[in-house]
Amino acid sequence: MIESDSSVSAWVGLGGNLGNPAAALQDALDALAHIIGVELAAVSSVYQSAPVGLSAQPDFLNAVARIDTSLEPGELLEQLLRIETEQGRVRLGERFGPRLIDLDLLLYNETVLQTEDLTLPHPRMFERRFVLEPLAEIEGDMGMAGGRRLCDCLRACSDQRLKKIGSLQFASHCQIS
């Protein structure tokens, strides 16, 4: 179990549109729950959204999970990329293309960070209703880095293509030590 005084909250976006995306999201959530140093705290409903950028592809399924973690942001990103690889994601360099699974580190507490591999908050999350809506579902009107309020970000988001379609199985305290 993670000690509460050594963990921080982080939010992970889950998405996919190839194969069986609902099963891929569930598998990714289960894998996330089994990372040492991570405990699932909340999971949004599953939302269906139209693709962004390359429109000639299937709709995406998306969700957001809040975790408590003792991992540093870079370590957590490595674990997310590992899960993607284990689930069969191959990065072909096509930005916004179809994919089996996509795990994005959206927020890490109130950390603002920019490295070669990671930018926090996620740079495009404020343009994506498929991130903001599920985030608001589990967090309400949270404040974010830079003094932004989630409700203001949702109001300003022009992306309206979103439909709630279901939920993922979520059991808290799934941590394996």
Catalytic residue among 66, 99, 128, 129: 99
Which of these, 139, 65, 140, 145, lies nearest to 104 by C-alpha position?
A: 65
Asked if 7 and 39 touch (Cβ cutoff 8 Å), the reply is yes
AA identity, residue 37: G
The answer to whether 102 is a known catalytic residue is yes
Catalytic residue among 27, 68, 104, 128: 104
To which residue do tokens 């950028």 refer? 53
DSSP state, 87? T
The answer to whether 104 is a known catalytic residue is yes
d(CA 40, CA 57): 31
Catalytic residue among 27, 66, 68, 89: 89
AA identity, residue 131: V
DSSP state, 125? G
- Name residue 120's beta-bridge partners: 113
Catalytic residue among 68, 102, 128, 129: 102
Q: Could you list the active site residues?
A: 89, 99, 102, 104
